Amino acid sequence: MSRHVDALRGGPSALVRKFGTAQHRVMERRAVRVGAISVRAVRDRVTAAIGEWRERGSAYEVARLITAPVRHGLVRLRLEHAQHLPATGPAIIVANHVSFFDSVLLMFGLPRPVSVLGKAEYTDRFLTRWLFCGAGMIPIRREDPADAARAFGELLAVIGRGGVVGIFPEGTRSRDGQLHRGHTGAAHLSLVTGAPIVPAGITGTDRILPTGARLARPFRQATIALGDPIVPPASGASSSTNRHRRQLTDQLMREINRLSGQHYVNQYAALPHPHVAGVRPSGASVTGLMSPG
């Protein structure tokens, strides 16, 4: 009460100063509370976004938008026989591998999102990890057999969710331009899960981004030609025998050969780290899952 009397003794100007200061303090406190709430909201959204990217694929459309200028402005992509890719349900795309750009086209050039295995070194930097993993890439360290088993488990998870995975059966990029003997990891994945295999022949990417080149060469054409799906005759762990894996692998490699037009050589492509041995989850080598390289 005495404070109000003191303010009245000072006249109207004192009242304005008194209550103006009090209102200002209230507004300051409100601003601090609103600011704190905004900071928490932004932090929560950023945390959720990072979590989504780490889940691989939930931010696929954002990554697709970011890469659109490169895919449509600098590269002329032609997709042949897109109807061979099932509209729904799991599928395994197997393709030849002549350029790092093959992975980019498989992830973004098809009607459905594709989770492609890629060297973990590509994700060592925050920006590339944010982009590639958000687009659905599954990183793998070829020098670590245990990591190959982990990556194989992630492929199983994608198939279990009804998604599409992309595998290069040669296990690495072809340095000589020829199509090499396929490893059996993709066949094992198909035989265990029952997911159909869609063979693909990729051409032109070796002229867009040759091995060793740091920058893509613009305004060139690449083609992805899809073949008829190959459905395994039976599924389950007991179906994935050595003989069945090799038969299915040879069949899919013949289709890739037909679609790509490459010269086929019946020998494995040399890996950049030839001392690395493939691991064998459930009895099947996943060397052919290690890509690109």
CATH 3.40.1130.10 fits 57-289, yes or no: yes
DSSP assignment, residue 118? E
Q: What does the alpha-carbon distance between residue 237 and residue 244 come to, in Å, rounded to a whole number?
A: 11
Say how many residues make up the chain. 293
Quick one: DSSP state of residue 279?
Answer: P
Paired sense of beta strands 164-167 and 114-119, if any: parallel
pLDDT tens track, the chain, 293 positions? 555 555 445 555 555 555 556 666 666 677 667 666 666 766 665 565 555 555 544 567 777 777 777 667 778 889 999 999 999 999 999 999 999 889 888 988 899 999 998 777 777 777 777 777 777 888 888 778 888 888 999 999 999 999 999 999 998 889 999 999 999 999 999 999 999 999 999 999 999 888 777 777 888 899 999 999 999 988 888 899 999 999 999 999 999 999 999 999 999 998 765 433 333 333 334 444 544 34
The residue among 232, 118, 261, 96 whose CA lies nearest residue 169 is 96
pLDDT score, position 3: 52
